[in-house]
Amino acid sequence: MAATPKPEELQQIDYTPPEKEWMEVPPSFKPGTWCYAGKPQILEYLGLPNPRKWSPADEDWKFPDNWKNTILEGIRERLLKFRSFHLFMDICVRCGACADKCHFYLGSGDPKNMPVLRAELLRSIYRREFTLTGKIFKKMAGGRELTEEVIKEWFSYFYQCTECRRCSVFCPYGIDTAEITMMGRELLHLIGMNTNWILEPAANCYRMGNHLGIQPHAFKDSLLGLVEDIEMETGIKVDPSFNRKGAEILFITPSADVFAMPAIFTMMGYMMLFHHLDLDVTFSTYASEGGNFGLFTSHEMQKRLNYKMYAEAKRLGVKWILGGECGHMWRVIHQYMGTHWDGCDELEVPVSPVTGTRFEHAKFTKMIHICEFTADLIKNNKLKLNPKRNDPYRVTFHDSCNPARGMGFFEEPRYVIENVANNFFEMPENTIREQTFCCGAGTGLNTDEFMEMRMRGGYPRASALKYVAGKHDVNLMATICAIDKATLDALVKYWIPEVEIGGVHELVGNALEMEGQNDRETNLRGEPLPVEPSESPPAAEGGEAGAEGGEA
Amino acid sequence: MKVLSALVAVAVLVLIAAIGTGLAPLQYVFGVVVPYAAFAVFVAGFVYRVAKWAKSAVPYRIPTTCGQQKSLDWVKHSKLEAPHTTGQVVVRMLLEVFLFRSLFRNTRTNLEDDDDGGKKLVYTSSKWLWLGGITFHLAFFTIVLRHLRFFTEPVPFLVQSVEGVDGFFQMTLPALYQTDLVIVGALTYLFLRRLFDPKVRYISLANDYFPLLLILSIAATGILMRHVWRVDVVGIKELAMGLASFSPTVPDGIGTLFYIHLFLVSTLVAYFPFSKLMHLAGVFMSPTRNLPNNSREVHHVNPWNYDVKVHTYAEYEDEFREVMKAAELPVEKE
């Protein structure tokens, strides 16, 4: 693995385009800028074409026979299947509004990371092969031949895009590079050009129910380990249930929450909340993954992995599904799942058993976000909260790309944070909400061998974070995405080590006043708290947050 | 190189019309045959392209949400940026199409030195592209509307009013239209930006310079005809009325400049359906803008949805039954 350049070096970003035209610049496979190839046994397990040993650093990528035809047929098929793709191939005017909106471009200065050029990599082939002007005028009309070099270039740049959709916010026609990258990756899969960091989790998820390949007993053990941690910090023994038939609610969250740092603290928050509310909820070891690396593979793989959610809900006979903090998981649930399965009539419209609130906006898919659930609890004064226990934290919130631009999920997490923490500060407006910047490693790019590009892609986020850290002494960036929790942790260690990464429900767990709890002298991370232990309700000087924490 | 080929292409077009009507007696070809052919190509091409897009499925509801979703009653929903109903989508689209709302958001990013010797990214609002874009489009639209006076008799009140307002300042005789100034200014800006902004220059194709130069030439010939080398307006109206009523006549002595203008317009019209200019129609069909953000509430049907290979619970339990039992996890089969 290549050593990642130091932050000082990485910040010297040159935005001057090369002398040569982009079609003349070959892709380069410098260590730190590409992910390892999919292993043959993984491809075989998933039934994907052209399994073989190869590396993007090799000269010979072992193209299958007739690969050109496969790609062109693949394009033809997708033009008919996806109007987004078809339209976005045709209507771009290259105005350049998207150019400096991409975190990978801002962090690397590589013009092929401008969304417009990323799309042109594919558009140039489309023009040459599928349009009249391209067939007649060829290069003059912006077309080019499909060669092995082109495929290598696709591989390079479609795996330097995190499908974050920030460019599509600014595009006057709403051209969404995520759609282009999805198509690009699907096409690459047709000839076996893919990355192991995406496919191995996908294969794990398919077989064992989760990306990390945690087997059922280990899944249970890990959570029981967290039960002990909770008992240590709060004196309360929570009692999660697994694969329990007849439960009212099935809870599904990314498997990273089960044992990856710092996501486990968020998991502790969930479990405390469920216990405190005496919620009739169960975990599943079979549907033990909220995330869906199929989204980063193909629409088909996405559907194959998504199957377990409804299937398990039906098998267990639950009424509805509650989903944890995750980014791309929610893109799938919000914009794809209902369509994949034409809904799920066996389930009921989610109703909070605590407040009676009926979540009408999820009446078709029957699945709601934990932040929606908790915000509703707080609004209805069902939680007793002591935000002072989060006082050591000066918190900012990182909007994750998928909930932000694929769902419109902005206020619920903020409302929860503002009620469980007293010190909350927003990053600059061009870097939050719908303009939020990616962590730099979404869509299955969160692998170590890709570290240089990750640090580059995450630079805009780090730069904004550094600003609030300097201005408001922010020391915790909360986020509602499991990939974020892992990747931002690496990002802040590199760019701005004084900041930690946490989850919204970790803060909820810290603030939650539970019946029979101990003095709560530490937070969920076991760090000592300066606040006076108190049995009485929290003082109200925390503003709205304190005032809202009414009856339990 | 790319800009040069676009420039040459436009120059060749000018020459063709100049020779064809100035030196050769091909007024009928350039005044009647070419415009009809161009118009036919436009209509057929436009319909073909739109029909082709329409034939492509919209399998998933994928709006780009730029504001708060509709969820809990007390959470303020952003109707415009995350529309939930068709009506809200229509408003979002209208703002997009007529006010270029997304482009209005444009920012410029700069890498600057920060206080402690490092760098930082700084975002500033950048409305020039929006201003150049919207003024060009509005001026173009007004000019097209204005030109209807050549094709109608009596000239409709709306067209007369547009013309009156456009020439309101009466700076010259005949009145100089403000839209002529605006369109030339906007096109010049867009052209120079494409040429001199290194990023935009790098992504530009000959196809990007060509329409700019073509429309600029159309505007230039139009202005020249009106203000410098005057042409026979009565003859032009007769020609235009003839075209519109499908009984074409070509009056003598209209002037070569007019035929150049008309030939450039014909080229633009015929080129339109095969070019990026189709964004005119495409913007209405963009799935990230024209769909409501309500997929958790309302079923969206994928017309090509198909069954996929899945890993069932039974298969899962078969593989892990023993460890599940050992961990006291419930199983279906003992």
pLDDT tens, position by position, A380-434: 999 999 999 999 999 999 999 999 999 999 999 999 999 999 999 999 999 999 9
Considering only CB atoms, which chain B residues are within 8 Å of A245? 330
Minimal Cβ distance to A116: which of B123, B203, B293 = B203
C-beta of residue A39 within 8 angstroms of C-beta of residue A196: yes
Q: Is the pLDDT of residue B9 over 60?
A: yes
Considering only CB atoms, which chain B residues are within 8 Å of A243? 329-330
Considering only CB atoms, which chain A residues are within 8 Å of B270? none
Contact B133 A367 (CB under 8 A): no
Q: How far is A56 from chain B (nearest CA, A)?
A: 26
Distance (Å, whole) CA A114 – CA A138? 23
Residue A141 CB partners (closer than 8 Å, separation 6+): A127, A131, A133, A134, B205, B206, B207
Distance (Å, whole) CA A47 – CA A51? 9
Considering only CB atoms, which chain B residues are within 8 Å of A80? 55-57
Band of pLDDT at residue A3, cut at 50, 70 and 90: confident
Band of pLDDT at residue B164, cut at 50, 70 and 90: confident
pLDDT tens readout for residues B270-312: 999 999 999 999 999 999 999 999 999 999 999 999 999 999 9
Minimal Cβ distance to B103: which of A97, A300, A342 = A97
Can you give the length of chain A in residues? 552
Q: How far is B123 from chain A (nearest CA, A)?
A: 7
Q: Give residue for tokens 């730029």.
A: B66
Higher pLDDT, A437 or B230: A437
pLDDT tens readout for residues B136-156: 999 999 999 999 999 998 999
Distance (Å, whole) CA A320 – CA B129? 48
Identify residue A440 by its one-letter amino acid code.
G
C-beta of residue A306 within 8 angstroms of C-beta of residue A332: yes
* Alpha carbon B76 to chain centroid, angstroms: 33
pLDDT value, residue A549: 38
In chain B, DSSP finds a helix count (H) and a strand count (E) of: 14, 2
Q: Is the pLDDT of residue B64 over 50?
A: yes
Minimal Cβ distance to A311: which of B105, B296, B313 = B313
Q: Is the pLDDT of residue A187 over 90?
A: yes
Touching check for B60 and chain A: CB below 8 Å? yes
pLDDT value, residue A547: 39
DSSP sequence for A46-115: HT-S------TTSS---PPTTHHHHHHHHHHHHHHH-HHHHHHHH------TTGGG-HHHHHH--GGGSH
Touching check for B59 and chain A: CB below 8 Å? yes
Touching check for B299 and chain A: CB below 8 Å? yes
pLDDT value, residue B248: 94
Distance (Å, whole) CA A119 – CA A68? 19
Query: Exposed/middle/buried for A246, CB within 10 Å: 0-12, 13-18, 19+?
Result: exposed
Q: How far is B122 from chain A (nearest CA, A)?
A: 9
Distance (Å, whole) CA A86 – CA A126? 10
The overall longest dimension of chain A from CA atoms, in Å, is 81
pLDDT tens readout for residues A484-493: 999 999 999 9
Q: How far is CA A224 from CA A218, A499, B125, B175, in A?
A: 10, 29, 51, 84
Which residue out of A95, A103, A105 would a mutagenesis test of the B interface target, given it has the greatest number of B Cβ atoms within 10 Å? Answer: A95
Q: Is the pLDDT of residue A346 over 50?
A: yes
pLDDT tens readout for residues A100-140: 999 999 999 999 999 999 999 999 999 999 998 899 988 88
* Short-list A529, A472, A523, CA closest to A499: A472
Q: Give residue for tokens 């064809």.
A: B20
* Short-list A234, A321, A210, CA closest to A508: A234
pLDDT tens readout for residues A487-531: 999 999 999 999 999 999 999 999 999 999 999 999 999 999 985
Contact B297 A11 (CB under 8 A): no
Distance (Å, whole) CA A103 – CA A114? 9
The H-or-E segment that residue B110 falls in is strand B107-113
Q: Is the pLDDT of residue A180 over 80?
A: yes
A320-323 vs A395-398, strand pairing mode: unpaired
Touching check for B200 and chain A: CB below 8 Å? yes
Interface subset of B 2-31, CB within 8 angstroms of A: 5
pLDDT tens readout for residues A9-56: 999 999 999 999 999 999 999 999 999 999 999 999 999 999 999 999
DSSP sequence for A449-464: GGHHHHHHHTHHHHHH
3 state SS of A321: strand
Contact A460 B100 (CB under 8 A): no
Contact B305 A80 (CB under 8 A): no
DSSP sequence for A348-368: ---B-TTT--B-GGGTTT-EE
End-to-end CA distance of chain B, in Å? 75
Considering only CB atoms, which chain A residues are within 8 Å of B74? 379
Residues B93-116 as b/e (b if ≥16 CB within 10 A, e otherwise) read: beebeeebbbbbbbbebebeeeee
Considering only CB atoms, which chain A residues are within 8 Å of B206? 140-142
Q: Which residue of A has its CA nearest to B303?
A: A81
Q: Is the pLDDT of residue B198 over 50?
A: yes
3 state SS of A202: helix
Contact A364 B295 (CB under 8 A): yes
Q: Tell me the count of A-B CB pairs closer than 8 A.
A: 319
Contact B72 A428 (CB under 8 A): no
Considering only CB atoms, which chain B residues are within 8 Å of A379? 72, 74
Crossing angle of helices A459-472 and A482-495, rounded to 10°: 70
Q: Quick one: tokens of A409?
A: 């999920």
Band of pLDDT at residue A534, cut at 50, 70 and 90: low
Distance (Å, whole) CA A417 – CA A504? 6
Query: Exposed/middle/buried for B244, CB within 10 Å: 0-12, 13-18, 19+?
Result: middle
Please count the other Cβ atoms lying within 10 Å of the Cβ belonging to residue B172.
11
pLDDT value, residue A528: 95
Distance (Å, whole) CA A142 – CA A150? 14
Minimal Cβ distance to A117: which of B203, B295, B326 = B203
Considering only CB atoms, which chain B residues are within 8 Å of A83? 53-54, 56-58, 285, 287
Domains and CATH numbers, chain B: 2-326 (1.20.950.20)
pLDDT value, residue A551: 37
Q: Is the pLDDT of residue A281 over 70?
A: yes
Minimal Cβ distance to A169: which of B64, B207, B316 = B64
Distance (Å, whole) CA A472 – CA A394? 8
The overall longest dimension of chain B from CA atoms, in Å, is 100
Q: Quick one: tokens of B248?
A: 């074409």
pLDDT value, residue A1: 59
3 state SS of A399: coil
pLDDT tens readout for residues A67-77: 999 999 999 99
Contact B301 A459 (CB under 8 A): no
Structural Rg of chain B based on CA atoms: 28
Distance (Å, whole) CA B311 – CA B329? 19
Contact A81 B319 (CB under 8 A): no
Contact A83 B285 (CB under 8 A): yes
Question: Average of pLDDT values for B254-275?
Answer: 96
Contact B53 A363 (CB under 8 A): no
Interface subset of B 88-107, CB within 8 angstroms of A: 96, 100, 102-103, 105-107
A320-323 vs A367-369, strand pairing mode: parallel
Q: Which residue of A has its CA nearest to B321?
A: A216
Tell me which of A153-167, A202-216, B25-39, B165-179 is least confident.
Answer: B165-179
Q: How far is A85 from chain B (nearest CA, A)?
A: 9
DSSP category for residue A29: -
Contact A174 B120 (CB under 8 A): no
Contact B285 A87 (CB under 8 A): yes
Helices within B56-127 (DSSP H only): 86-99, 101-104
Contact B206 A359 (CB under 8 A): no
Considering only CB atoms, which chain B residues are within 8 Å of A91? 276, 278-279, 282-283, 286
Distance (Å, whole) CA B289 – CA B90? 10
Distance (Å, whole) CA B267 – CA A243? 68
* Average pLDDT taken over every residue of chain B: 95
DSSP category for residue B26: -
* Short-list A196, A256, A200, CA closest to A226: A256
Considering only CB atoms, which chain A residues are within 8 Å of B121? 106, 459-460, 463-464
Q: Quick one: tokens of B322?
A: 């023993």
Which residue out of A205, A372, A434 would a mutagenesis test of the B interface target, given it has the greatest number of B Cβ atoms within 10 Å? Answer: A434
Helices within A380-458 (DSSP H only): 401-405, 411-420, 451-457
Considering only CB atoms, which chain A residues are within 8 Å of B274? 131-133
Please count the other Cβ atoms lying within 10 Å of the Cβ belonging to residue A2.
11
